[in-house]
Amino acid sequence: MTEKAPKLRAALDGIPTYKPGRPPAPGGPRAYKLSSNENPYPPLPGVLETATAAAGSFNRYPDMACTALLAELADRFEVPVTHLATGTGSVGVAQQLLQATAGPGDEVIYAWRSFEAYPIITQISGAASVRVPLTGGEDHDLDAMADAVTDRTRLIFVCTPNNPTGNAVRRAELERFLDRVPGDVLVVLDEAYREFVRDPGIPDGIELYRDRPNVCVLRTFSKAYGLAGLRVGFAVAHEPVAAALRKTAVPFGVSQIAQDAAVASLRSENELLKRVDALVAERGRVLRELRAQGWTVPETQANFVWLRLGDRTADFAAACEKAGVVVRPFAGEGARVTIGEAAANDLFLRTAESFRQEP
């Protein structure tokens, strides 16, 4: 045995490991998990049956090309199959996009606060993060983001709706931004929550990508489709970005169970989207009640709400947990609370109300 330790890349120094939303404490009282923006509905019986059937051949590698899934997606979104790439969750695809575009000396721009994984996967790539603060109203400051572009910029994440604030970028602002960004910078529209959007002023990234070769849209089966545990996401992008995603893919990164369940979900879309409608209705109720209680809450288009709590964040999260709901605190800033079952939302609302009344 030598005294030496393996040499690790200096770029990894100081990278925090990704912190997932916490489940209820083991052995503690029963609590609802509202900390990971998951879909509270259990799998549809037909989707579960398909996944179970696929599990019967897990001694075999999956179809690496995800042929059936890509064909289904191409049909669903009216895009060429060569403009699609799947990955291990959309966060896996985001990481592949960075591998394909950015390295030491390069820059990656994103709004802050936004999705926790952006700084982590950017730092892993070796590129530098350029964080552009959200506006006072918690919106992307797209003008400032366009101003931040330099000749080192390789990729820009636009998270819409934004995690954790829930608001989405509007059509005119996004189009103006896309017109300003040079064509050799990849703009990634992260639309993990797209199916929850109801405001007609919020554009569909897949429409914007069509005549813009530097735009890539990220979507996932984890949220509206309820397949978070199966890890399947996808990108819509022109060649050669889609080709680069095929090159950077972890071989066999999407299991056959995940592929078949995703296909079955697309085929059961009507039923799944009814569940999304029910969650959107709950979101409306939660938002109305919070505002009636006196909270200022951004106009969420996702399956969660954002409460800016500052110093009271940890206390609020603890109070929620005591009441039976686990939320997602961001220390010193606020709490993100997933829209769950009505009973869970009620517990959260009750806590919000009592908390509000505290001095």
Stretch that binds ligand PMP, among 88-96, 146-154, 179-187, 323-331 (CB under 6 A): 88-96
Nearer to ligand PMP, 235 or 323 (CB): 235
Minimum distance between the CB of residue 233 and ligand PMP, rounded to whole angstroms?
Answer: 4
Q: Select from 35, 86, 90, 153 the one that contacts ligand PMP (CB under 6 A).
A: 90
Q: Select from 34, 69, 73, 91 the one that contacts ligand PMP (CB under 6 A).
A: 91
Nearer to ligand PMP, 37 or 351 (CB): 37
Torsion region of 37: left, alpha or beta (phi above 0 gives left; psi -120 to 50 gives alpha) = left
Closest C-alpha to 306, from 331, 330, 334, 286: 334
Q: In Å, how far are 137, 166, 241, 303, 346 from 297, measured between CA atoms?
A: 9, 9, 37, 14, 17
Minimum distance between the CB of residue 181 and ligand PMP, rounded to whole angstroms?
Answer: 20
Q: Select from 86, 222, 255, 300 the one that contacts ligand PMP (CB under 6 A).
A: 222
Q: Select from 40, 62, 89, 203 the one that contacts ligand PMP (CB under 6 A).
A: 89
CA dihedral 310, 311, 315, 320 (to 10 degrees): 0
Q: Select from 32, 115, 225, 355 the one that contacts ligand PMP (CB under 6 A).
A: 115
Pairing of strands 334-338, 328-330: antiparallel
Helix (H) / strand (E) element for 289: namely helix 269-292
Interface with ligand PMP, residue 39, by CB under 6 A: no
Interface with ligand PMP, residue 159, by CB under 6 A: yes
Interface with ligand PMP, residue 98, by CB under 6 A: no
| Interactions with ligand PMP, residue window 188-217 (CB under 6 A) | 190, 192
Torsion region of 354: left, alpha or beta (phi above 0 gives left; psi -120 to 50 gives alpha) = alpha
Structure token pair of residue 315:
């206390």
Interface with ligand PMP, residue 301, by CB under 6 A: no
Pairing of strands 186-190, 215-220: parallel
Minimum distance between the CB of residue 162 and ligand PMP, rounded to whole angstroms?
Answer: 7
Closest C-alpha to 350, from 331, 329, 328, 322: 322
List all residues 6 or more positions away from 4 whose beta carbon is below 8 Å from its beta carbon.
none
Interacting residues toward ligand PMP by CB under 6 A: 37, 89-91, 115, 159, 163, 190, 192, 220, 222, 228, 233
